[in-house]
Every structure is written in C-alpha cells, then in structure tokens.
C-alpha cells in the first residue's frame, strides 16, 4: 500500500470513526456527549477524544439506589463502538481483527 493510498483510507476511517461515536448507536439522551467527540490525526495515529468529564460513567452499570435496579441503557456502549471501529479499520487497512482476553 502506498502512502497516498494509506492516507486516503485513513481519511475514510476518520469519517467513519466520528460517525460511530456521534451517531451510530451513541449513548441514549446524551446529545452534548455525542457532539463533544473530536478527532486528531498525527503521524499515522487517530485519536477520538471528548472533554465531557462524565463520559466514563455513561458506560458503567448503575449501582446507585437512585436508579431502583434499572439497567443502564448505555452500558458498555464505548466498548461496542470501539470494537466495531477496530474491525472496520482492520478490514480497510488489509489487516485482521483478533480478540484476546
């Protein structure tokens, strides 16, 4: 793969990454969080970041009595999105995805 081909594929991946974290099965009722995701690409590296301090809590099990035993509708959403994106990247860059424990 040439450098130009790599850059073109990374541009496609970058767009897909933002879509995955902003729109595709993103957290329920968290529009501020959805819109906070930003991407940075430097030296063949893609980073997706957010400035929202409570983002890690949207991904966890609800333990507080406040929720009366209800399930978090967003539970593990970040893991699902990340795994999907890694598989997508592997496919588009000619690699393969192998999940290890």
Report if residue 32 sits inside a domain. yes
Residue 44 lies in a domain: yes
Classify residue 99: in a domain, yes or no: no
**What pLDDT does 30 receive?**
67
Convert the pLDDT of each residue in 23-78 to its tens digit: 766 666 667 887 888 887 777 677 888 888 888 888 888 888 888 888 888 888 88
Q: Considering its fold, how many domains does the chain have in total?
A: 1
Both structure tokens of 77? 């959403």
Containing structural domain, residue 27: 3-92
Residue 98 lies in a domain: no
* Helix, strand, coil distribution of the chain in percent, nearest 5: 50, 10, 40
What pLDDT score does 24 carry?
A: 65
- Tell me the C-alpha distance between 74 and 79, whole Å: 11
Nearest to 85 by CA among 10, 3, 8, 5: 10
């Amino acid at each position: 793969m040439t450098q130009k081909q790599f850059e073109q594929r990374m541009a496609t991946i970058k767009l897909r990454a933002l879509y995955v974290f902003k729109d595709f099965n993103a957290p329920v009722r968290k529009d501020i969080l959805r819109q906070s995701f930003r991407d940075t690409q430097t030296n063949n590296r893609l980073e997706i970041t957010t400035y929202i301090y409570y983002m890690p809590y949207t991904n966890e099990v609800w333990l507080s009595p406040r929720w009366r035993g209800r399930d978090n509708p967003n539970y593990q959403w970040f893991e699902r999105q990340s795994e999907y994106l890694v598989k997508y990247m592997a496919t588009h860059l000619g690699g393969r995805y192998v999940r290890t424990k």
